[in-house]
Amino acid sequence: MPDSLLIPACPEVLVELASVMQEQDPDIQLVSDLVNNDVGLYTTLLATVNSPALGLKHCVESIPQAIMLLGQKRTFTLLHSVILRNSLDQHGRMDRFWDTATEVAGLCSRLAAQLTSVNQDKAYSIGMLHDIGIPVMMANFPDYKDFLRDVNSLSLREISAQEVEHYQIDHFTLGYRLAKEWHLPTTVSKTILLQPLFEPTESFPNTVLFQIMRINDMLILPLPFEITSESGRRISARVKSEFLAANQEIKHSWVASVANGYFGYSATPEEYEYQSYEGASTLYGRYSTPYISAQLGVLAKDMQLEKVEELRDEWKYLLKTNHFLPVLEDSTGIRKVLTEATSVLAEEAHEENYYAVEWQDVGPSQIKFHQSLVHVEAKTDQGWQVLAQDQHRITDEGYDVEVRLLDTEDQGMGTYQARWYNPEVSREACKAGCRFVIAKRGQHEQEKVLYSAEFNL
């Protein structure tokens, strides 16, 4: 990242305005006075408010009138953009950029009202400022305008990569830094930053196969979505009702999720409004489940009229294939334990404590991962026994032990690490001691099993 970049400082008038606007009941007259004291800000703001992009029916002649018509938050967003425009236009006028930003802001606000539960003022702010890093890039890099013209047809992710390659920073990061510097809401700044992560529209499936399978009095509804429980009940009820309306007795009906493809989740409109994981992962909007229900309802009716087209006798699929297994290579080195078992404490809330041991073994092509490789043993009065917790053996066949390939070595060998997670629950069973056990592998089947040094929890 460049050591020094021009990021316009947040003007004092905006700091004062932010302080007033954060109050529970902002003083509109004080806001008006602050704007009126800056002639350039006052005239540019009124020109922006009265532009065709905002589509107001009446001419706005004062700041209080603008606040009354647009609302406090939207007016404050416009103030941000106007002040930023005044700060950056000294590097070259960008009327088209700001007009487009205003149009996008209005569109975001209308879409938020019609399709989501997102706050309209937040949507307006995001729309207005989503590309705010572009004029900052132009202020810092004289050739950026020509660069932007060359990459205009690329996806956001590709543009970001090209910018980082040419300038060591992208306009999304620069826009994020500006938003933070100017104390914009976190929702706005994070949205600016995360835009390159958005998948292009063409990457989403746009043709879905609707199916109904009937076996006597049972219906199966295969769908390429992850259907929530309530969505499944509604879809099943709709299809079942069509059969019952035709005097077709159906006792059982259910949805089979993730069948013949994957289109993300399908939550109910209510779940979509709540968002959470399922709602936010419903890629095609709040009306996905009603749409699916309606289409399957039509298909159910067609089945009664015997108008359903039969499938072809033969379907041919041309699937891409890849080979992920390592190339077979002889291993002629020595298998040996490299470290003692060590305790590693979790550093983050989502991580777990574990014990780890490293060893040298045959290479990945010889390792036979479909067979158990590592387990933990505990010392008992009857000798060493495979450790079990709640009747589950502590091995790499379950979720307690993980095996990692750390590096490849000479003579076709590899360095591995085994991690035993959450060992604390086995403290009582291991009070006399425990150890890692590594099974035989590859051409070294005749060699002895490897054991780590004994350790205590």
Residues 190 and 254 in one domain: no
CA distance 23 to 87: 26
Q: Establish if 319 belongs to a structural domain.
A: no
Number of domains in the chain: 3
DSSP E strand stretches across 45-133 = none
Per-residue pLDDT of 226-244, as tens digits, reads 999 999 999 999 999 999 9
pLDDT at 442: 60
Q: How confident is the model at residue 446 (pLDDT cuts 50, 70, 90)?
A: low
Place of tokens 């954060």: 22
The last residue of a domain, from among 171, 200, 229:
200
For the chain, the maximum distance between any two Cα atoms, rounded to a whole number of angstroms, is 92
> Regarding predicted confidence, which is higher, 342 or 399?
342
Q: Establish if 328 belongs to a structural domain.
A: no
pLDDT at 54: 63
DSSP E strand stretches across 312-400 = 336-337, 342-344, 354-362, 374-380, 383-386, 388-389, 392-393
Average pLDDT, the chain: 84
Residues 251 and 290 in one domain: yes
Per-residue pLDDT of 273-326, as tens digits, reads 888 889 989 988 889 999 999 999 999 988 887 666 666 777 777 777 877 777
Least confident range of 45-49, 107-111, 144-148, 452-456: 45-49
pTM: 0.50
Place of tokens 């350039």: 40
Is 80 exceeded by the pLDDT of residue 342?
A: yes
Per-residue pLDDT of 191-200, as tens digits, reads 999 999 887 7
By the 8 A CB rule, do 129 and 85 touch? no
Residues 117 and 189 in one domain: yes
**CA angle at 367 for the pair 364 and 372, rounded to the nearest 5°:** 135
pLDDT at 256: 95
> Which residue range forms the structural domain that includes residue 27?
12-200
Q: How confident is the model at residue 9 (pLDDT cuts 50, 70, 90)?
A: low
Residues near 167 by beta carbon (within 8 Å), at least 6 away in sequence: 2, 137, 140, 141, 144
Is 80 exceeded by the pLDDT of residue 368?
A: no
Residues 194 and 217 in one domain: no
Residues 189 and 68 in one domain: yes
pLDDT at 219: 95
The stretches of 220-376 forming alpha helices (DSSP H) are 229-245, 269-274, 276-280, 288-305
